[in-house]
Amino acid sequence: MTPKISLIGAGSVVFAKTLISDIWRFPELANATICLMDIDPARLKVADIMMRRIAKKLDVGAKIESTLDQREAITGAKYVICTVQVGGYKPSTVRDFKIPAKYGLQQTIADTLGVGGVFRALRTIPVINSIARDIADYAHPNCLFLNYTNPMAMNCWAVEEAVGIPHVGLCHSVFGTANQLCNFAKLPPEDVDYLVAGINHMAFFLKFQYRGQDAYPLLFKALENSERRQELVRFEMMRRTGYFVTESSEHQSEYVPYFIHHGQKVIDQFNIPIDEYIRRCEAIIGSWEETEAELLGKDGEIEIKPQSHEYGSYIIHSIESGQPRTVYGNVPNRDIITNLPNRCNVEVPCLVDRNGLQPVTVGELPPQLAALCMTNINVQELAVKAALTGKREHIYHAVMLDPHASATLPLDKIWAMCDELIEAHQKDGFLGEFTPTLKNTGRGYAGVGDRIIARLEGQGVFATDAGAQNRLRLTVENPTGQAVTLQFQLRPESDALTLEGDGILTVKAPAKGSATAEAVTINQSAIDDNLSVTLETECANVLAVSAVLRPRPKLGLNDSGEATFGLKLAGFDAAEGTLARDGDLIRLRAKVLDSDLKPNYDSPFAGSGLQLFFAPLDNTGNIREVNIIADPAGKAEVRLFKNPLDNAKITFRRTDIYYELEFTVSFEELGLEPTNEVLFDCIANLGALGDAHSGGRTVLSGNFNAFSNSSQYTLVSWAQRTQ
């Protein structure tokens, strides 16, 4: 018998689309009953229409129900998913920002901790617990409550303490940050393992390993990269604590007392976006009509993205099918993290199979991390106590212990601010009655500052024909005060590849310097897939990064004969586009999910826009760089490196969430001969990714040195578009 899966808060239609389409992609869940519930009839109607079109598109036999009645939705459900927001953007979120701002308290997101997080919890916990009580009374006996609503830790803590049903809090910060760290460390995600533990939004990568080796030295190398402009707060916190935290710099800046309240100079230094959540909400509201049209699809033909990384569908599938998986979940601490209180809510790896969720015992966190977590847990506990007991004094206590609020405001202003917030939220009807009341590194780990880093890389384009030879370069960076002589063994991981000689390289690296050595590989057969050459050494103080030899990728063609490309940032879609040749012209279309355009006309690579790179097959040193600068004023400027491309044509359209452009330029103006094949690469620079993520840089090939090295460019064939 297929389960009933209920979604409370189905009016969060963008996320609902992702969650339910993920579920229906599993054959075992294709016939599940999906019940949608929301208090907004208009949003519920959109969700219902959308789900029926998704079901038709995926050709599943699911039964779809919609209701405004929470108890009806929960009755008989085996899984209840919660995505509610109590009080909405207006009036509640606006009040959570505007009233504290009057007292001099600046915030970025304010949905998890701080005064904004406390008051969101006070509004939300009664609703969350009403859902939990209905689950206890009316749902399937083995029902699992999957909560996506913030403030995650406070909500889950309250459910455990007040009701005690099986539940898990789910968040995408672990897998999103893991993708970011692989990007910063220049490592393939498939070769990286990690262990994360702590509390929601303040969990830490206790292990970050490349093929079993500690890869943290690569993150500390990225820390000192003067060209890095992303995640300044999180890298600074890693500098001081020794570990990288899971949630974005916007969030992290208001969880600790080291940044915002020290003034505009520090805010600018660490690129902290004050009132960021307000900007994102207004962008979403401003683009709702277009978003609704996209969600419902044109003429009923709805677009469905590939399965996401969100844990919800995988948990349900593992319980129903028995297929074991590991996910990260927020669960009650029952001796899982031994130096955090058993009463709190922790984020840890969980095994999941037919027996349900089984949290993995972590043991002790490093003491500085446990102490940082406790500064947040103190606030969480007192906010939960305020919500469950109705004692007004605990509201003040929660805010006075908040790291950011306590570093910014004196006690009298904290009390006055809380009083005004209580009165405003009660007036709006989203808060009940309460009883009256009278930030160089600090990580002590040998091997971070003195670890030798050895990296093996392919040189130039990987020749794939049988008998072809390729060159490998081994670079050894020695940060220690003594010269070293190291011996390395190279081992191809496939018989299709052999090494010239015995595969042993000896490198003499000077003190606080670097040295290189080269090797030659020989193809024993034609190669059409990635191949690895493993780098090994017996020296324990070496982080050895193996080489992955990649044939030049080719862009695929759509039905119109256009070459298609897509870029991701931290594992999420960031940009997509097409390329085509029209006679002597190159035509590019692109859509970039940048909701916060920050043009930089002096250094285009440092501001919002695209960097396009073209090179001919016969002269890969002739790289032509085209910079497209995106401006929030609704215009775009095109340059060949730094010089205007006067004859290039561009159309540009901007919404609150993304921008689209169409760009044509002649081969002649680029200094290239018209040809049916060119090499191409693209870098997208984003101020903010869509409506919920930090910005950054992402590159099609994975090589941010595209301006000087075309070895990893993709091959574009124009044959089907030549006129």
CA angle 211, 216, 219 (to 5 degrees): 115
Indicate if the alpha-carbon torsion angle 124, 127, 133, 134 is positive or negative.
Answer: negative
Give the whole-angstrom CA distance, residue 38 versus residue 486. Answer: 64
59 near 123, Cβ under 8 Å? no
Tokens at 722, concatenated: 């030549």
Give the tokens for residue 1: 């018998």
> Could you tell me which of 253, 243, 80 has the C-alpha nearest to residue 170?
80
Amino acid identity at 349: P
**Among 172, 317, 397, 693, the one annotated catalytic:** 172
Closest CA to 341 of 378, 372, 396, 367: 378
Q: Do 712 and 703 touch, CB atoms closer than 8 A?
A: yes
Residue from 39, 22, 41 nearest 30 by CA? 22
Distance CA 365, CA 688 (A): 32
DSSP reduced 3-state for 141: coil
Cis peptide before 151 (omega within 30 of 0): yes
- Give the H or E element holding residue 75: none
Name residues whose C-beta falls within 8 Å of residue 17's C-beta, 6 or more positions apart in sequence.
Answer: 50, 54, 295, 304
Give the whole-angstrom CA distance, residue 149 versus residue 171.
9
Which residues, 6 or more positions from 63, have their beta carbon under 8 angstroms from its beta carbon? 31, 32, 33, 34
Contacts for 358 with CB less than 8 Å, ≥ 6 apart: 350, 351, 352
The string of DSSP letters for 535-554 reads EE-S-TTEEEEPEEE-PPPB
Calculate the dihedral angle through the C-alpha atoms of 437, 150, 365, 234, rounding to the nearest 10 degrees: -110
Question: What CA–CA distance (Å, rounded) separates 59 from 136?
Answer: 33
What lies within 8 Å, CB to CB, of 219 at 6+ separation is: 181, 184, 185, 208, 238, 244
Q: Is 670 helix (H, G, I), strand (E, B) or coil?
A: helix
Place of tokens 């009374």: 137
Under 8 Å between Cβ of 676 and 718: yes
Tell me the DSSP string of 314-340: HHHHHHHH---EEEEEEEE-SSSBTTS
Distance CA 403, CA 431 (A): 24
Residue 172 annotated among the catalytic residues of the structure: yes
Question: Going by DSSP bridges, is the β-strand pair 79-82/693-699 parallel, antiparallel, or unpaired?
Answer: unpaired
The β-bridge relationship of strands 4-8 and 531-536 is: unpaired
**How far is it, in rounded angstroms, from Cα 217 to Cα 447?**
8
Amino acid sitting at position 140? H
Distance (Å, rounded) from C-alpha 574 to C-alpha 228?
A: 19
Q: Helix/strand/coil (H, E, C) string of 165-230?
A: CCEEECCCHHHHHHHHHHHHHCCCHHHEEEEEEEECCEEEEEEEEECCEECHHHHHHHHCCCCCCC
The catalytic site residues sit at 172
